[in-house]
Copies of this chain bind each other. A is one copy, B any other.
Amino acid sequence: MAKFLPLAHAVAENLRDGDKVAFEGFTHLIPTAAAHEAIRQGFRNLTLIRMTPDLIYDQMVGMGMAKKLVFSYAGNPGVGLLRRVRDAVENGFPNALEIEEHSHAAMANAYEAGAAGLPCAVFRGYRGAELAKVNPNIKPITCPFTGEQLAAVPAVRPDVTFIHAQKANRRGDVLVEGIIGIQKEAVLAAKRAVVTVEEVVEDFDGLHPNLTILPRWTISAISIVPGGSHPSYAHGCYARDNAAYLEWDEIGADRDRFRAWMEENVMRAKPEDFAARVEGLRAGASLRSVA
């Protein structure tokens, strides 16, 4: 049952060294504030799971928190490569990083299977693709009616999932809107789930009955962190900070510059700092009105 907690408490209560953890968000609503809090608390030996590891996983890998990365696209979206992830994979810096690599279709299906309580996902995938040869977690499975050979991957079941959302109501139900990505599945597949939100509203009365809502009993903790997905965006609240993504390409490229940036912007910062970071981006928030 969702408890409203300060972010530091929510992270401390729900994340542990050695956990399999997903900080999910598909370009939109990336839970940056939660990831920065996890970095400040210095967790170790994490298995980081995400379809699209971007800046926050580059940061966590660069800070030596990860032993393994499960992913399908490790890039700086629209910009290029993730320099810290590259340094770990290519040079073992700051530590060797085991990788389990999938396609988007496989990861999406694996989260879906996790949410659905299944041990594996079955889909038509990886045909002719070499990942099936280097990843032992991709296996064939045969349709018992047609004989067609399909692909199977294990369900993704994180110990804990972190997401960012636009709104919670006072009871603790959470509303996600716009590009909803894989967040619902990531929460339902996990043992525990922590949600940072832009704001808390009295209730969701008057909203459309078919919106993407996570009932309060699917969530462990909610923290109110306005701006908490910067430099990503929150549909209807503030726009994506594309400049920050471009800038990261340079920051991440250099080990020392990376460390200095992290020290200043993460280690010495607080969840409350996120609100100011999006102040100038609020005018550029999506035009299409969201209830």
Residue-by-residue, is A178-218 near B (CB-CB < 8 Å gives 1, otherwise 0)? 10100000000000000000000000001011111000000
Given contacts A152-B143, A152-B145, contact A208 B290 (CB under 8 A): yes
Q: Does A100 contact B (CB under 8 A)?
A: no
Residue contact B288 to A209, C-beta cutoff 8 Å:
yes
A122 to B122, CA, bound (A): 7
Q: Does A119 contact B (CB under 8 A)?
A: yes
A263 to chain B, nearest CB (A): 39
Residue contact A291 to B150, C-beta cutoff 8 Å:
no
User: Majority SS of interface residues in chain A?
Assistant: loop
List, in ascending order, chain B residues with CB within 8 A of A146's CB: 119-120
Residue-by-residue, is A124-164 near B (CB-CB < 8 Å gives 1, otherwise 0)? 10000000000001011101111010101010000000000
A19 to B138, CA, bound (A): 38
- Which residue on B lies nearest to A122, using beta carbons? B122
A280 to B32, CA, bound (A): 53
A239 to chain B, nearest CB (A): 16
A118 to B144, CA, bound (A): 12
List, in ascending order, chain B residues with CB within 8 A of A139's CB: 144-145
Q: Does A123 contact B (CB under 8 A)?
A: yes
8 Å CB contact of A140 from B144, B154, B206, B209: B144
- Which residue on B lies nearest to A286, using beta carbons? B209
List, in ascending order, chain B residues with CB within 8 A of A212's CB: 210
8 Å CB contact of A209 from B124, B137, B144, B177: B177
A152 to B145, CA, bound (A): 9
A278 to chain B, nearest CB (A): 20
A187 to chain B, nearest CB (A): 16
A212 to chain B, nearest CB (A): 6
Residue contact B210 to A180, C-beta cutoff 8 Å:
yes
A-B contact pairs, 5 of them (CB 8 A): A119-B148, A120-B143, A180-B210, A206-B289, A210-B212
Which 9 A-B residue pairings sit nearest by Cβ, starting from the closest? A139-B144, A119-B146, A119-B143, A120-B143, A122-B122, A145-B154, A119-B148, A144-B152, A208-B208
Q: Which positions in A face B, CB cutoff 8 Å?
A: 116-120, 122-124, 137, 139-141, 143-146, 148, 150, 152, 154, 177-178, 180, 206, 208-212, 235, 288-291
